[in-house]
Amino acid sequence: MAFFKKNKNETGGLPDNLPGHIAFIMDGNGRWAKKRAMPRRFGHREGAKNFRRIARYCKDIGIKNISFYAFSTENWKRPKDEVEAIIELFREYIVDVRNYIGEEVRVLFLGDKSIFDEDLQKKMNDLEEDTKDNREMTMLLAINYGGRAENFKLFDMAVRICRILFYRRFMA
C-alpha cells in the first residue's frame, strides 16, 4: 500500500509540523462489507487490519499520541454475533499489540473496562502496567466509552466528519 512508508526516514511528502495527537473513529466497516455483499463482521476484520497499519505508520512518522474510538456503549445494541465478533477481534489485536508497534509504545484504555470478561480486563490492565514507562508514542484505545448527553451533539458532529474522512481514506 503506497500510503505506508518503510520508516521514519522515508516520510517524503509529509509536512514538518505533524500533529502531536491524531484521533481515529473506527467507522465504515459495515458499509465496506455491505458494498462487497459480505457480513458486517468481515468489515470489522478489515477495519482491525487498518488499525494495525495506521498505528504502525503513525509511530514510524513520529506521531506522539494516537487515539482510536473503537466501541462505544451504544454499540452493545448491535446483534449479538456482531458484538461478539468485535470483542474477539479486540482481544486478538491487543494480545500482540507490541509485536506490531514495538516495545516503546504506552497503551492506555479509555472507557469502562468492568463490563468485559475478567481475562480481557486482566489483559488490558497488564498491558497498561507493562507499557506505562514507554515514551515513544502513547496509544489510547476507547472501548465501552460513552458521551455525556450535553456533549452528544458536538461529538456526533465530529463523528460524522471523521467517518467521512476515514471512509474515503482507508475503506473506499
Q: How far is the CB of 23 from ligand FPP (least distance, A)?
A: 13
Residue 93 binds to ligand FPP (criterion: CB under 6 A): yes
Residue 29 binds to ligand FPP (criterion: CB under 6 A): yes
Cell of 50: 487498518
Q: Is 75 considered catalytic here?
A: yes
Report the chain's C-alpha Rg in angstroms.
16
Cell of 38: 459480505
Q: Which of 17, 60, 75, 133 is catalytic?
A: 75
Q: Which distant-in-sequence residues (6+ apart) come within 8 Å of 168 by Cβ?
A: none
Per-residue contact string for residues 62-81; x = within reach of ligand FPP by CB under 6 A: ------x-xx---x------
Residue 131 binds to ligand FPP (criterion: CB under 6 A): no
Query: Can you give the length of the chain in residues?
Result: 172
Least Cα distance to 26 among 168, 167, 172, 145 occurs for 167
Q: How far is the CB of 102 from ligand FPP (least distance, A)?
A: 16
Ranked by CB distance to ligand FPP, the top (closest) residue is 30
Among the residue ranges 1-9, 15-23, 26-34, 129-137, the one whose residues contact ligand FPP (CB under 6 A): 26-34
SS3 for 157? Answer: helix
